[in-house]
Amino acid sequence: MQESVFSKQIDKLVLKPSARIIGLKNIISSIFDRSNSDLEFLARLRIEIGELMQYTLDDIALLPDEICINEDNYNLFRKVLMEIKSNLAMFETKRIRGSVKSLKNSVEFSFLFEYYLDYVIDYDANAFIFLIWEEGRELEDKFSFRLRIMENDKDLKVVDLFSDSSNYYTGKGISIAIILQSKEMFNKRIISSSNKLKTFIGEANYKDAIEKVWKKMIEKGLALYNSECDYYFTI
């Protein structure tokens, strides 16, 4: 990545602390060099730091050889990891709140949502990550919705569209409502996952989503289907 304000902050808050453990600094520098964006670097670094913090004094022989940790410098190693982890909190992405209304069987529902932009390693891409809930149920499980930013910069792919574990939010029209609102919010075409041309391992367009969301949108003149590539898209 090119020199920027971000890279200068990383140098000060991450690389300089890690310099006390040379092998750790080399690992972090390698992650930085291999990342294609600031968000990707932060996501990969958080995972690396989290994994390294799982090693106890009894496990130091299992650490990567290049880190060169022994009993004498283990405490310093832990101190550096904790400092970097604390500093990474300064790079938290902005969370945006809003509201969305849905209509199901002539009944109107109102919900709140929060979303942020992050790099998701499983998708190998940036994604908008939403949590949706009813006012008064903030502390309970929420409706999950994620949009992968596609490489053409024109489409957002629905890669997560699931109700809460208790299914409280099932049958309230949230899926269609948040898809349509996202189309307007981001000024992008919203497309479904595909069972034929997948962009990441594990991608699937489930039967319930097809029948209860996308086909319903087609019936209302809100979406179409691309049979060649097996995905639905908003119009």
pLDDT tens per residue across span 146-203: 999 999 999 999 999 999 999 999 999 999 999 999 999 999 999 999 999 999 999 9
Q: How would DSSP label each residue in the chain?
A: ----HHHHHHIIIIIHHHTTSHHHHHHHHHHHHH-SSHHHHHHHHHHHHHHHTT--GGGGGGS-GGG---TTTHHHHHHHHHHHHHHHGGGPPPPEEEEEEEEETTEEEEEEEEEEEEEETTTTEEEEEEEEE-TT-TTS--EEEEEEEPTTSSEEEEEEEE--TT-TTTTSSHHHHHHHHHHHHHTSEEE---SSS-SSTT----HHHIIIIIHHHHHTTSEEEETTTTEEEE-
* Total-model pTM: 0.89
- CATH number of domain containing 106: 3.40.630
Residue 111 shares a structural domain with residue 35: no
Residue 80 shares a structural domain with residue 123: no
Per-residue confidence band for 1, with pLDDT thresholds at 50, 70 and 90: very low
Residue 112 shares a structural domain with residue 171: yes
Domain end position, chosen among 75, 91, 107: 91
Structurally, how many domains does the chain consist of? Answer: 2
Range of the domain at 21: 5-91
Domain end position, chosen among 50, 65, 91: 91
Residue 65 shares a structural domain with residue 117: no
Residue 73 shares a structural domain with residue 172: no
Per-residue pLDDT for 2 more than 80? no
Residue 46 shares a structural domain with residue 134: no
Residue 152 shares a structural domain with residue 83: no
Residue 102 shares a structural domain with residue 216: yes
Residue 87 shares a structural domain with residue 106: no
Q: How high is the pLDDT of residue 65? A: 86
For all residues of the chain together, what is the average pLDDT?
94
